[in-house]
């Protein structure tokens, strides 16, 4: 036989035949099932890790948002006070288990008012002097002009747990 390619093919066929007489992983259904199960488990773990990581980032973003600015307090503008944004949300920290009560406010109120006898994490002192002077307001959380604000009033008239 002079054709090297044909000879290689024939030898390959013989080698395949010889190897088929012994163990062949491709025919081992038990091994196939174990490896498949390991793949599926690895995929589930990767997805879980990704979702936990995503939740971690989200939590970090919320905490970063709720943390007070460390920069100097800007001077109060002398002009008219900017109107509050239309949508307001209460920001709270579940881990702190704060005792608080949401105070009913007029339907078109720009603020959510919360009575509590404890602070929820470190807060900037309220920058709105009028609100502070009105009595009971100890702080406002949220970026100036932002959509999230929390007004804390102390003390709470009665205790309710979240």
Partner 1 sequence: MDVRAMTRGIREGREDAFEAFYSGYADRMYRYLIVSAKGDEELARDVLQDALLRVVRHLPPLDGPEDLWRYLSVIMRSALVDQLRRAGRNPGSLPACREPAVESEEGAGDRMFSLLDDALAALPSDDRRILEAHYFQGASQGEIAGRIELSLKGLAMRLSRLRRRMREFILEGLRRE
Residues that bind partner 1 (CB under 8 A): 1, 7, 10-11, 13-15, 17-26, 28, 31-32, 34-36, 38-40, 42-44, 46
Smallest CA-to-CA distance from 90 within 130, 141, 127 is with 141
Please say which residue, 34 or 125, places its beta carbon nearer to partner 1: 34
109 SS3 class = coil
C-alpha R_g of the chain? 33
Smallest CA-to-CA distance from 85 within 65, 112, 120 is with 112
* Shortest Å distance, C-beta 86 to partner 1: 43
* Shortest Å distance, C-beta 18 to partner 1: 5
113 SS3 class = strand
Please say which residue, 3 or 162, places its beta carbon nearer to partner 1: 3
* Shortest Å distance, C-beta 9 to partner 1: 10
Please say which residue, 24 or 158, places its beta carbon nearer to partner 1: 24
Please give the backbone phi and psi of residue 103, each rounded to the nearest 5 degrees, phi first: -90, 130
């Amino acid at each position: 036989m002079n054709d090297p390619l044909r000879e290689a093919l024939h030898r390959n066929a013989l080698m395949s035949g010889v190897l088929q007489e012994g163990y062949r992983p491709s025919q081992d259904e038990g091994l196939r099932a174990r490896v498949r199960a390991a793949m599926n488990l690895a995929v589930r773990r990767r997805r879980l890790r990704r979702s936990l990581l995503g939740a971690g980032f989200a939590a970090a973003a919320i905490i970063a948002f709720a943390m007070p600015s460390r920069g100097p307090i800007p001077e109060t503008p002398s002009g008219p006070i900017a109107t509050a944004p239309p949508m307001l949300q209460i920001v709270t920290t579940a881990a702190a288990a704060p005792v608080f009560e949401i105070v009913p406010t007029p339907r078109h109120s720009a603020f959510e008012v919360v009575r509590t006898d404890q602070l929820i994490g470190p807060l900037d002192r309220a920058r709105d002097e009028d609100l502070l002077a009105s009595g009971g307001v100890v702080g406002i959380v949220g970026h100036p002009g932002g959509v999230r604000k929390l007004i804390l009033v102390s003390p709470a008239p009665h205790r309710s747990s979240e």
